[in-house]
Structure 1
Amino acid sequence: MRILVVGAGATGGYFGGRLVQASRDVTFLVRPERARRLRERGLRIVGLGEQTVLTPRLVVTGEIGSTFDLVLFSVKATGLGQAIEDVAPAIGPGTLILPVLNGMRHIDALAERFGDPAVLGGVAKVVTTVDADGDIVRLADLQSVTYGARGAHAPEPLAEVGRVLGGAGFDTALSGDIVGEMWAKWVLIAAAGAVTCLMRGTVGEVVAVPGGAAFAEAAFAECAAVATAAGHTVPREALAFARQTVTTPGSPFASSLYRDLVSGNSTEGEHIFGDLVSRARRLGVSVPLLDLVTMHLRVRQNRVDTSQAATAGPAAGPDGLPAR
């Protein structure tokens, strides 16, 4: 099975790198600047005592010459539209697309462009970042991919997807309710993002002040209420984990959205919060805290967009695809 990994950043770089280590047939789709860096330094996975250097096969945007069997979509939501156009030549009649973006909006965009049967559901869990050298830095020992068909009928090559992903250095699971799994992760990242972005601090810093824990509980409750109203009640174990994530005293945890925010980068605010509050409106769910964080991030994103427009234009992000 020929695999194309779209994006070589914190998520795609990590999982794609592990697949390369496992001798799978993997190619990375990257932009010219990211390709140059990878050819000079290699794809490096570092942190937690690891110093892995790989020399992956690369294809630059605009130069795809064949189709692939499986496309692992791992770009930030802010670069989704351009990435869809970049990857189009790689999608053939039998290609399966496994997106591991946050939220749900990307599913509609991919299905509209490439057809609903081609698009699987996916959830990636990994705690990594990209440093100034473009290396993938592991921050915690967590790495898993859950995948599955979104409809009642699984595509025939799904079993082969399990074979190529399995045994590659990260946990994998085939889910019978992948849409529910995606909603469960959405609740977690939205709650964590709301708490850390609105309060501009880690979970531990928020819950350390009077009212902090109650605020975190309220933000979590709003996210869970939207999922329930949408028909995807988060399982009890996942709910407990999400609640613990945003209320643990002393926790150094901060969401990736918060890290983008304080670093001055574009965020996935619309994909994570804009879409969530839009669904809440349609479902009649009141989400005042989610409304607040959405407005906050939109004001801030307008400032970022204005600043970028005043310069030479958007630069490539650390994964070699559109800036994020």
Structure 2
Amino acid sequence: MKIVVVGAGGVGGYFGARLAEAGHNVTFVVREPHFSIILQDGLKIIHSEGEFTVHPKVVKDFKEIPDMDLIILAIKSWQLQTVAEQFKPYLQKHTLVLPLQNGVGSVDKLSEVIPAKNILAGFCKIVSKVESPGIIRHLNFKPEIVFGEIDNSQTNRILKLQQRLSKANFVATVPKDIHLEIWKKFLFIATVSGLGGLTRMTMGVLRSESYTRQLLEESSKEIIALAQAKGIGLSEEHFLMVMGVIDNLEPDTTASVQRDIMAGKPSELEDFNGYIMKEGRKLGVDTPTHAFTYYCLLPMEKKARNLL
């Protein structure tokens, strides 16, 4: 299978390397310094049982790729449409596009640029990081890609893709309701990310201080109310689930969006707190916690994007 992975960070680097290890024809579209290092030394994955190195093809431009069966988008939410414009001229009828972002708006963003028939809905579960360009360290539990057709139909192409991805050393899951699964992950990551960035505190502090814990709970409930208004089946059960996850995380845990904010980098603020606030306004759902978090972080986001 001819697979293109856009991005060689903790997500793209890991899953792309595992797919190459399993024998798939994998090409990475990356920038410097990843390009030169992977071209020269390969892509190394360090994990709990050891390490391995693969030597995939690396390019800087989609025009260098003659055929694409699957494009895995392992980039930030705010980069989706720009990258989709880049590969749009080379997209073929059979090419599947699989976004792995944390937000819930990836399919809508891509649909504004490329045909919906090419797009799958998806996300991933992984704890990994870039040790240095070309070296990815996997930190916790067996990684998983969760994906499906936008309408949840069990098509031949989706089942065939699951079969092919399952040959790699990670879990490939096609759930009954991909959108519910995407929102379940979003419920966790959007509950903690903005508040973590605003307070600059670890999960252990956020969950143990009475006021910040109350904010976490209110943040989660606002997301559930918005999901329900959009016809997504989140419920009290999922609120209890996400708070349980928060309580069981290592005390020094931080979210990736939080780390971007704290490092002064462009973040997915608009796709998290901003999305919740703006969609809430459209649908008449009050989201005061997310609005407060969004507007407090917005000046930092503008500075990171050189807009101040």
Length-normalised TM-score, structure 1:
0.87
Within the alignment, does 1:18 sit opposite 2:18 as a pair? yes
Counting only pairs closer than 5 Å after superposition, residues 21-32 of structure 1 correspond to structure 2 as 21-32=21-32
| Alignment partners' CA distance in 2, 1:96 and 1:137 | 28
3-state SS of paired residue (1:113) = coil
Aligned residues: percent identity? 27
3-state SS of paired residue (2:94) = strand
| Alignment partners' CA distance in 2, 1:184 and 1:249 | 17
User: Any idea what the Cα deviations from partners look like across 1:188-236, whole Å, max 9, x if unmatched?
Assistant: 1100213312221111012232423222212211122211221112266
3-state SS of paired residue (2:234) = coil
**Are the aligned partners of 1:64 and 1:90 in contact in 2 as well (CA < 8 Å)?**
no
**Are the aligned partners of 2:19 and 2:165 in contact in 1 as well (CA < 8 Å)?**
yes
Counting only pairs closer than 5 Å after superposition, residues 126-141 of structure 1 correspond to structure 2 as 126-141=126-141
Counting only pairs closer than 5 Å after superposition, residues 129-168 of structure 1 correspond to structure 2 as 129-151=129-151, 153-168=153-168
| Alignment partners' CA distance in 2, 1:209 and 1:92 | 52
3-state SS of paired residue (1:63) = helix
The Cα shift of 1:152 comes to: 5.6
**Are the aligned partners of 1:207 and 1:249 in contact in 2 as well (CA < 8 Å)?**
no
The Cα shift of 1:294 comes to: 1.3
| Alignment partners' CA distance in 1, 2:300 and 2:132 | 23
| Alignment partners' CA distance in 2, 1:21 and 1:175 | 25
2:64 paired residue number: 64
1:319 paired residue number: none
User: Any idea what the Cα deviations from partners look like across 1:251-306, whole Å, max 9, x if unmatched?
Assistant: 22211111112222211111122222111111111111100121123211111122
**Are the aligned partners of 1:187 and 1:227 in contact in 2 as well (CA < 8 Å)?**
no
Length-normalised TM-score, structure 2:
0.91
| Alignment partners' CA distance in 1, 2:248 and 2:71 | 37
Q: Which structure ranks higher in relative contact order (CA pairs < 8 Å, sequence separation ≥ 6)?
A: 1
Letter in 1 for 2:251: S
**Are the aligned partners of 1:123 and 1:145 in contact in 2 as well (CA < 8 Å)?**
yes
1:35 paired residue number: 35
3-state SS of paired residue (2:129) = strand
The Cα shift of 1:19 comes to: 0.6
Change (3 A) 1:133 1:24: closer
**Are the aligned partners of 1:147 and 1:174 in contact in 2 as well (CA < 8 Å)?**
yes
The alignment covers a number of residue pairs equal to 308
The Cα shift of 1:153 comes to: 4.5
1:282 paired residue number: 282
Gap regions ≥5 residues in structure 1? 310-324
2:228 paired residue number: 228
Within the alignment, does 1:203 sit opposite 2:196 as a pair? no
Gap regions ≥5 residues in structure 2? none
2:118 paired residue number: 118
| Alignment partners' CA distance in 2, 1:11 and 1:250 | 21
Q: After alignment, is 141-150 or 56-65 more displaced?
A: 56-65
| Alignment partners' CA distance in 1, 2:149 and 2:213 | 37
1:251 paired residue number: 251
3-state SS of paired residue (2:95) = strand
3-state SS of paired residue (1:114) = coil
| Alignment partners' CA distance in 2, 1:63 and 1:90 | 7
Change (3 A) 1:267 1:16: same
User: Any idea what the Cα deviations from partners look like across 1:21-71, whole Å, max 9, x if unmatched?
Assistant: 111121111235421121233212124353222211222215334231111
User: Any idea what the Cα deviations from partners look like across 1:87-135, whole Å, max 9, x if unmatched?
Assistant: 2244101111111112122212212222112111102011112134442
3-state SS of paired residue (2:58) = strand
Letter in 1 for 2:295: M
1:2 paired residue number: 2
**Are the aligned partners of 1:28 and 1:56 in contact in 2 as well (CA < 8 Å)?**
yes
| Alignment partners' CA distance in 2, 1:224 and 1:41 | 46
| Alignment partners' CA distance in 2, 1:31 and 1:184 | 32
The Cα shift of 1:250 comes to: 6.3
**Are the aligned partners of 1:78 and 1:268 in contact in 2 as well (CA < 8 Å)?**
yes
| Alignment partners' CA distance in 1, 2:64 and 2:239 | 42
Change (3 A) 1:250 1:102: closer
